[in-house]
Every structure is written in structure tokens, then in C-alpha cells.
Amino acid sequence: MRSLLPLSLFLTLFDTTVYAYVFPFHVQFPRTDSTSSLTRRTPLNVSNIANAQYVSNITLGGVTLSVLLDTGSSDLWVHFPKTVPTDQMTDTGKSITLSYAVGEASGNVQTTRVEFGGITVDDQVFLYVEDTSSFTANIHNQGYDGLLGLGPNQSSVIRKKFKSDSANTFLQRAFSQNKTSDNYITVLLDRKNDPAKQYTGQLSISEVVPGFEAILDMPQLDVETVNRLLKSDQHWQALTDKNAGVIGPDGSPIQMKSIVPKAPKGQYVAVVDSGFTFSQVPRDMSDAIYGRVRGAYYDSTNEWWLVPCGQYLNVSFNFGGRNYPIHPLDLVDDNFSKTDATGKKVCIGSFQPITSAFSMLGHYDMILGMSFLRSTYALFDFGNWIGNTADQDHPYMQMLSTVDPVAARKDFVTVRLGGNDTISDPAWALLPVDQMQHSPVSAEEKKKKYQEMILSRWPYIFVGCLAFVLIAVGLCVWRCCRRRKLRKAREAAGEVPTETKRNFNPFSKKAKRESYAPLDASRSTADLNTPYTPRSFTKEQEFDRQSAAQYSYNGYPSSLNGDYRQSQQPYQQPYSHPPQQGYTQHHV
């Protein structure tokens, strides 16, 4: 994944002195033997661009470039703004498009030597993108030339295309080269314009940043795996605490139903993703955070809340029984110079309703991006995702809070209120619950919600349809068997003649009659003046009568030797036929 910030916001960044706020982002190296393939030689220089992006240097084919650090994806792609080291690259002959929440990167897959903080991997696959306009315009001017995915190997689109270990991700191959190391990375993000800032952003591989060893005592949050049929969508995701996953600004848990079918009741599935500047949360959750703020309103164009910059809010998340408060400077973001219709400065609510980044397959409820990560020190352990190494634990995450609520409040007063603590003034009090504003749901989002509901539950829908078909077929078979059993019982009791059964076939066409019962040969229209009385015949007479084959049709008698004109007499009396008693076969 990547940040959902529109280009217009980044343009506002570059209209100001952005580069005056670039901080070093140091990489800590494990103290290993100098012969180890993971030996670190030089520190990494990484920059924080206006609290919106965190970038690091990487070298491909001898050319050093800045790339975004993205824990929400797994592939490496770059664009060479100047010299392209074609003599150091090998074209695999395959082209790929990498799609993100917003934008995509397309190009040919190449291999070359890749160096990242002293780690060298030969013949590493990467996507060479010549035209980056489909991702965002002029990425080089924004401070980076590509993206390095730090997610699991199984989510790599390039790996899926090649179906070979030679196409594994950079981290997968780096950890595999040293099978005795622990397969984890840690990320510590710094905050721009924080007066109490005590550290710079740091990244470590296979060891903990000095001074933050307490993270090893934090709960190990098992990574929630997605449906095995869709493992390419695997992310760093974990469950919040039951019935208290998110504590709102009024101090009460924000309650809603998870969209993830397998999520336990009262818990949410949260993805931790450094590729998002603003965290993406359910709309009801975003409304609960900002909808009761006096003077706040929803910007339908950009799909976020705009809030008075002096509004102090206290929101926290709970994972593994630990509380992680969000720094108030991150809850209401003032890095993008936004103004309302009157020209007054307003800030962006950094926990944005999740719309265009919808979890279409229902794998997660929210994406916790940089606005969350700046309040924590996070460890991502790949465990047995790497395979064939000493670390065979199930993948997990650990998080250590870096926010002291008392100190954070002082920071907010200093930065947003000019040192004058007016947080408790009635002007900043939250509106009553019955006056809470609700952001509108667009037609497109309604469509996406419906699609998500269907797609996220397709295994259950499929099983339900299959069960319905099996039950219907079973009922039909049961009814047929029951009817046959009842017929046999009736036959045994003498209620149904055996010959009827013998002639009965429900699957055959209707039996064709051989003949109709012969009419009385002595009966004609001449007898219509008197009632008809059936005659009695001896056996010999009956034989003679049948052999004569006399029939009556519409009142005109005919015979083998007779003349129909003999019977033409006036009609005088209606004919009354006795009840028909059945049919007798006539054999000629």
C-alpha cells in the first residue's frame, strides 16, 4: 500500500521550506562477526519529509537512490532520474504492474546487485519503471525515486509472477543469507516540530535500537493471516483488544461491528502500514473522533475531517492488554497549510474514513499509518515466513508506546495554543452525543461497501449455495424413494393392481391406446326414437358382432358391407348414453 495523500497536498509542502525539516533516520546494526553477510558497515541516511513520507537510500547497480519505506507492500521498484546502469542490469523479459491504493507502477523486471545499509544481495529482482506518472507526478521532486516494500515474501507480486526463489524479496534473501540471525526489523519514526523530541527516526535489522530494549517485553501480537486462497494480500495485521480496541476522545470505547468475517466479536483487525500518511479507519470511528468537535466539518472532496487546529483530543488504541495513546499533534495534523472558506487555518483529522482504500475482501477493518506509528516503536518479526533459518516462530509484531500523555499535552499547548493552556475552556468542550455530526456516505462508497460485503463473504456464500443444492437434490431423492416405498406397500396390501404397476413408467411417454371399445353394431340413428336397450349376445354372436366391425361416427353407421345412406333419418329425440364402464381392447 501507499499513502492516499493527493498530489495537491504535496505541492503545498514544496511551496514551503520542506527541506529545512529533514531529519536523519539512522539505522542500527547488529554486532555480528565481520564475515557475516549481514554485517553493517555504514549507517543509513533516511529523511522525514514533512511527517508525510519516510525515505531511505538504497543502491542498485552502483546508483544510489532514495526510496519510500513501505511495510504495506513487498516489492522493490525504482526510477532512475539520470543515469540508468543498463550494463549492470539484466532484463528478465517480463513486465509487471504493481497496483497500490492510489496509483500504480509499471515496467520491466530486471536483476542487479542491491545494497541496503551494508547488506548486499546479488541478482536481486526489481521493477524498473521508466514512466512514473501513473504513480504520481514527478516523484523525484517529492524526494524519492522508488519504493522498497518491507512486507512478507508471499505478498510479492514479482515473486508470484516468477514462481521461483530467485524472485524473492530483498529482505527474504537477506535473512536467508544469514540463517543464524533473528528475522525482524524495527521502525522508530520521528515527529516534525515536536518540542520534546528526544530521538531521531531509526531503522534496525535483527537488533533493537539502543534505549528501547523494553520493546522485547511487550506482548507478541500474532499476525492475523488472511484466507489461504488469497495469501497474496497478507499484511502486518493484528487484533485489537476485545470491546476496548479504540478509546474515543470522551474516554469511552468506540463500538462497531468488524467487517472481517472471521474476526472475534468486539475486536477489529488492524493493518500497521508505514505507507499511509493518514490512518484509514471505519467511517463511524472517524466520525466518533471528530464529529463532536465544535467547528469541525467534513470535506467531501478530499474525504477527511477539517478541525480547528487548537482542538486537543485524547485517543488511544489497545493491543495485547497494552494502551497506546496517540500524540495529540498527530491526531489533528497541521502540516499542510489548509484553510476554510473564510481563509482561517484549519487542520486535517489524520484518522481518515476508509473509502478508496477499502478492504474489498474483508481482510481488515483499518490501516494504521504514520499518524499511529509516530506514537510507537514497532518490531516486525518475519519468523517462519523466511524458512530454513533459526527463527521459526509464527510471525508477530511488538509495539512500545513512545508517548507520555502528560508531556504530550504540554507539547500541544506549546505548539498549538502558544503556551496558554486553554484546553479545559468550554470553547473546546465536545458536543453532546446527540449533536454529533456524521460524514456523508457517497454513492461510490455505498457500492464499495456492498461489493465488500459480497466479496468478503464469498466462501460462506459458496458453501451456502452448495449446501442448498445438495439439500434440494437430497429431498428429491428422498421423495422418490418414499413414493416407491409407499407404492410397494399398497401393492402388498392389494390396494394397487400389480398390472398397473407393471404398465406404469413415470419417465416414459404416455402409452398409446390400441383401440377404443367397439360400439353396438345394432345401434343406429334409426333407433333414436326409442330408448336404447343393450342387447344380450351369446359367445358366438359376440364373436360375429365384433368381426363385423361396425362403428358409429357422428350418428352415421358404417360397416364392411353397409351403406351409410340407410341410416339417414330425421333426428327426433336426444340420445342418452349409459355411463361408460371402461375400454376393452379390440384385436382385429
- Summarised one tens digit per residue, pLDDT across range 429-438 is 999 999 999 9
250 burial (CB, 10 Å; 0-12 / 13-18 / 19+) is middle
Buried b (16+ CB within 10 A) or exposed e, 440-477: eeeeebeebeeebeeebeeeeeeeeeeeeeeeeeeeee
Condensed to tens digits (0 to 9), the pLDDT of residues 105-151 reads 999 999 999 998 778 999 999 999 999 999 987 888 888 999 999 99
- Taking Cα atoms as reference points, which of 427, 273, 458, 296 lies closest to residue 362? 458
Cβ neighbours around 140 below 10 Å, total: 15
Condensed to tens digits (0 to 9), the pLDDT of residues 209-233 reads 889 999 999 999 999 887 655 555 7
Residue-averaged pLDDT of the chain: 79
Q: What is the strand order of the sheet 366-368 is part of?
A: 237-239, 269-272, 366-368, 279-281, 351-353
Question: For the residues 93-104, what does the mean pLDDT come to?
Answer: 89
Question: For the residues 450-462, what does the mean pLDDT come to?
Answer: 67
- Taking Cα atoms as reference points, which of 581, 577, 561, 584 lies closest to residue 527? 577
Phi, psi of 545 (to 5 degrees): -65, -45
* 3-class SS of residue 367: strand
Residue 544: enclosing H or E segment and its boundaries?
A: helix 539-548
Question: For the residues 234-260, what does the mean pLDDT come to?
Answer: 94
Q: Looking at residue 287, what is its pLDDT?
A: 97
The label of the residue with cell 495513546 reads 325
Report the length, in residues, of the chain. 588
Which range in 175-179, 415-419, 439-443, 557-561 is most confidently predicted, on average pLDDT? 415-419
- Taking Cα atoms as reference points, which of 559, 541, 542 lies closest to residue 550? 559
Residue 489, pLDDT > 50, answer: yes
Question: For the residues 537-555, what does the mean pLDDT come to?
Answer: 52
- Looking from the CA of 501 toward its CB, the CA atoms found within 13 Å total 15
Residue 549, pLDDT > 80, answer: no
The label of the residue with cell 542487479 reads 112
Q: Looking at residue 541, what is its pLDDT?
A: 58
